[in-house]
Structure 1
Amino acid sequence: MSEEARMPQAVLVAAFEGWNDACQAATNVVRYLVGRYESREIRHISCDGYYDYQVARPMICHAAGYANLIWPQTTFYQIVLDDTHQLFAQIAPEPNYRWRSYCSESLAIAEELDVHQIVTLGSMFSDCPHTRPLPLSVSDGTCQCEGDKEYNGPVGIPTVLDVAAADQGFAHASMWVSIPQYLGSDECAAGTMRLLEALGKRIGFDFDMGDLPAKSDHWKAQASVLVRCNDQLADYVNHLEHDYDLKQQAAAQASLGAPQAEQLVKEAEDFLRNMDQ
């Protein structure tokens, strides 16, 4: 067993910049953990062959009078949470080429570190209000643990890695948070918090949220100011809130088997149908 994997039930958390990372909510989970807890870089995957440098461009950095090129790459971290909990984390720009080979190389490192479980993170823009808990979808390939339906459609590297992990026999989970699409691309601490809470629940650990709650409140306050200054946007958000609340009420009633559930579901369907007209 490698030195980095002495603690039992090691978990690898993976997040990727780009299409799968609305408002950096997913990759900021890894950045937050690396900055908050004892961590160190332990592995890398070379950029060569995986990136289109006109899309994921190298960066130049000047230090001590010398120019250094920083190429896109994959970095693996060991993060020690306490005496009995640790994580491994993988962060990278989404590769442009050879996804199968990239996932094989990633999973080979996971095996080398004696990883037991792989958790992929993602964030996406969606029609949801900032005034309610951000929608969260958590699945492990056998059940939809949270969220109201399975996704069908185009996928990014987190989903490909998740499927590859399942094929190789790893315990695995995929966690996605939805971000209000009307708020643009600024960082969303509320989305990062939702993913951290879900990850903590998954591994049985309460993360120190640090300044994330304050940043989340600031994000919501800024969003509320934006909505108050735009009547059309305010009306749109009101529709989203009404839709969200109806779905929550229907889900609560359905869980009790009450006859009112059918009526609430019908109201939600009628409301959505009217929005499309």
Structure 2
Amino acid sequence: MSYLNLHGKPDKKFDHLIIAFAGWPDAGESATSSLKYMLRDLGATKFADIDPEEFYDFTQERPRSYRTRDGRRRVRWPSNEFYYWLPQQPATSGSSKGALFFMGVEPNLKWRTYSETIANLALDLGVRTVVHMGALLDAVPHTRQVKLTGSSTLPLLQEALESANIGTSNYQGPTGISTSVMETCTKKGMSYASLWGHTSHYLQAAPNYRVCYTLADTISRILQLPVNLKELRSAADKFDQEVIQAIGKDDQLESYVKKLEDRYDESLADSPMPEPADVVRELEQFLRSEQRRNFGGAS
């Protein structure tokens, strides 16, 4: 049985699929907000979605009701949508030939079937590497640059991440849908990479535009996506100012942040965090070396 609804499948092959999930892997709505921004700025086209009926317990992931402009009430179900983007000009050396995107809501049921649905469409459209964007809560101070962790099933990309000081988590325990998708994709011969932004756990505001910006900037530069990040950077700067003002009014929280800063700086004393530009440079070098090996081939 097919759970996929197609609305004009693209007649082109794509090297990369970029994915993000709302829910557990999306602290501060950072990953999905970042992907939404990229979709809007690029003018990506929706071409498919997954029917939610079999994958959700609607008493846990409740649909939303809303009223239309003419006063009618409608139901908005959990959405799992595929998009594609193609450059207006022919791709040149070092520029993107286009990309696929998927934004979904972590399902409650049938994770393996759900993962198969995503992986099968990606494989059908030529995808070689799936890149997951996620965000997690962590005891990190908002006054330091955004911490990134990540991993890849592709050895050369894993080496590039490690050389950029983007560490791999040693976590073992309950996991999210992104791990299920990773396992399914790798079994089908696709490479997989995951990049996580660490969100200060004491900040309840969402979206966390600091983390949104860092994720969007890193992913778009690695994959040569021409995303104009000016608006998102402005939102991140405003977010920072509002957080500074709010914490300045709470002595107890301000003291807690100072303790986090001391602990964080001490942990980085022997292994300082790289500058964001250095991180991107390492990963861009990897991508260029892969292009020279014809990795990802011509579409």
Aligned to 1:139: 151
Which of 1 and 2 has higher RCO (CA within 8 Å, sep 6+)?
Answer: 2
Q: For 2:65, which of 60, 72, 93 is the aligned residue?
A: 60
The yes-or-no answer on 1:178 pairing with 2:198 is yes
**Code of the aligned partner of 2:76:** I
Aligned to 1:21: 26
DSSP-derived class of the 2:263 partner: helix
DSSP-derived class of the 1:118 partner: strand
Identity of aligned residues (%): 25
Is 2:151–2:168's contact at 8 Å kept on the other side of the alignment?
A: no
How many pairs does the alignment contain? 251
Structure 1 distance, partners of 2:168, 2:266, is: 13
Deviations 1:184-241 (A, max 9, x none): 1421111111111221343244532031111111111121122222222112211221
Structure 2 distance, partners of 1:94, 1:6, is: 28
The yes-or-no answer on 1:232 pairing with 2:252 is yes
The yes-or-no answer on 1:78 pairing with 2:84 is yes
Aligned to 1:111: 123
Q: For 2:10, which of 4, 24, 45 is the aligned residue?
A: 4
Q: How far off its partner does 1:82 sit?
A: 5.2
Q: For 2:140, which of 114, 120, 128 is the aligned residue?
A: 128
- Pair 1:243–1:201, CA change in 2 (3 A): farther
Structure 1 distance, partners of 2:270, 2:11, is: 45
DSSP-derived class of the 2:267 partner: helix
DSSP-derived class of the 1:147 partner: coil
Structure 2: runs of 5+ lacking an equivalent? 1-7, 274-299
Structure 2 distance, partners of 1:206, 1:247, is: 35
Structure 1 distance, partners of 2:62, 2:169, is: 37
Structure 2 distance, partners of 1:81, 1:182, is: 40
Aligned to 1:274: none
Q: How far off its partner does 1:92 sit?
A: 1.4
DSSP-derived class of the 2:269 partner: helix
Superposition pairs of residues 22-61 of structure 1, within 5 angstroms: 22-61=27-66
Q: How far off its partner does 1:49 sit?
A: 0.9
Aligned to 1:100: 112
Structure 2 distance, partners of 1:61, 1:238, is: 43
Structure 1: runs of 5+ lacking an equivalent? 254-277
Is 2:42–2:227's contact at 8 Å kept on the other side of the alignment?
A: no
Name which one, 1 or 2, has greater alpha-carbon Rg: 1
Q: 32-41 vs 200-209, which deviates more?
A: 200-209
Q: How far off its partner does 1:127 sit?
A: 0.3
Structure 2 distance, partners of 1:205, 1:233, is: 39
DSSP-derived class of the 1:96 partner: coil
Q: TM-score, normalised by structure 1?
A: 0.83
Q: Over the residues paired in the alignment, what is the CA RMSD in angstroms?
A: 2.2
Aligned to 2:291: none
Question: Which structure shows the bigger proportion of residues in strand conformation?
Answer: 1
Aligned to 1:217: 237
DSSP-derived class of the 2:270 partner: helix
Is 2:148–2:198's contact at 8 Å kept on the other side of the alignment?
A: yes
- Pair 1:3–1:100, CA change in 2 (3 A): closer
Q: How far off its partner does 1:175 sit?
A: 0.9
- Pair 1:167–1:237, CA change in 2 (3 A): same
Is 1:29–1:195's contact at 8 Å kept on the other side of the alignment?
A: yes
Is 1:121–1:158's contact at 8 Å kept on the other side of the alignment?
A: no
Q: TM-score, normalised by structure 2?
A: 0.77
Structure 1 distance, partners of 2:80, 2:145, is: 31
Structure 2 distance, partners of 1:106, 1:161, is: 8
Aligned to 1:247: 267
Q: How far off its partner does 1:70 sit?
A: 2.2
